[in-house]
Amino acid sequence: KQEVTQIPAALSVPEGENLVLNCSFTDSAIYNLQWFRQDPGKGLTSLLLIQSSQREQTSGRLNASLDKSSGRSTLYIAASQPGDSATYLCAVPSGVMLTFGGGTRLMVKP
Amino acid sequence: SQTIHQWPATLVQPVGSPLSLECTVEGTSNPNLYWYRQAAGRGLQLLFYSVGIGQISSEVPQNLSASRPQDRQFILSSKKLLLSDSGFYLCAWSVLGNYGYTFGSGTRLTVV
């Protein structure tokens, strides 16, 4: 059974810092990994989708990497802003369903 | 472009009342559809998924049911709500191939 873990569970940083969110999964036989953002009381917004054949994906200040062999993915946020404050979730497909990590709650202070 | 609609956004219902939440997808055909629930301060739990019209799989036995009367419509129902049914309900869709999952904006259900 696939298990997904995210570290840290919460993170508070001053504005402008570069930061890394970690995601690990137990079954490396995945065909993609997806990072989502969730604002309080809102749905999930897809940030990046990395295919198993890819090492990384970039969107603006966000960069996600994937190392299947070690069962790890990282989400790098450059020059963090208060608007980046949210919960970040990684997820991997298991059959037809997604298995989610517990999320990292990020707060960026002005 | 593909879009997903969920309604209502918020709902307050008394214990024992029925429930119907609706989700529709536009811009794609034969999607896989999902209902997830997120309890306060907790992770996402898959409740139901559907790979086609009339095909429903339940992941967690509970007081809820799901139906898919049309290709791009997914409905979550209950005949009698319990306090424990309170939570944030999210609908999602995916298609075959490595295109990821797309989530709706969610429904906040409070059972009182």
CA distance B102 to A101: 17
Residue A5: which region, alpha, beta or left (left: phi > 0; alpha: psi -120 to 50)?
A: beta
CA distance A76 to A54: 16
Token pair recorded at residue B102 = 């797309």
Instruction: Identify all chain A residues contacting B105, using CB atoms and an 8 Å cutoff.
Output: 42-43
Tell me which of A59, A88, A97 to substitute to probe the interface with B (most B C-beta atoms closer than 10 Å): A97
Question: Is A12's Cβ below 8 Å from some Cβ in B?
Answer: no
Q: Mean pLDDT across the stretch A7-33?
A: 95
Q: Is the pLDDT of residue B28 over 90?
A: no
**pLDDT score recorded for residue A31:** 87
Percent of chain A with pLDDT over 70: 100
Q: Which of B76, B65, B51, B74 is nearest to B4 (CA)?
A: B74
Q: How confident is the model at residue B61 (pLDDT cuts 50, 70, 90)?
A: low
**pLDDT score recorded for residue A7:** 94
For the ranges A51-55, B28-32, B94-98, which has the lowest average pLDDT? B94-98
Q: Mean pLDDT across the stretch A35-57?
A: 94
Residue A88 is given by DSSP the state: E
Q: Which of B27, B32, B29, B38 is nearest to B5 (CA)?
A: B27
Instruction: Identify the sign of the CA torsion A69, A71, A77, A83.
Output: positive
**pLDDT score recorded for residue B34:** 95
Instruction: Identify the sign of the CA torsion B62, B67, B68, B72.
Output: negative
Strands A97-100 and A44-51: unpaired
Average pLDDT across chain A, whole number: 95
Q: Which of B76, B9, B95 is nearest to B36 (CA)?
A: B76
CA distance A1 to B105: 28
Give residue for tokens 């989700």.
B23
Q: How confident is the model at residue A94 (pLDDT cuts 50, 70, 90)?
A: confident
Interchain contact, A96 vs B32, CB within 8 Å: yes
**pLDDT score recorded for residue B98:** 67
Q: Is the pLDDT of residue A77 over 90?
A: yes
B4 near B101, Cβ under 8 Å? Answer: no
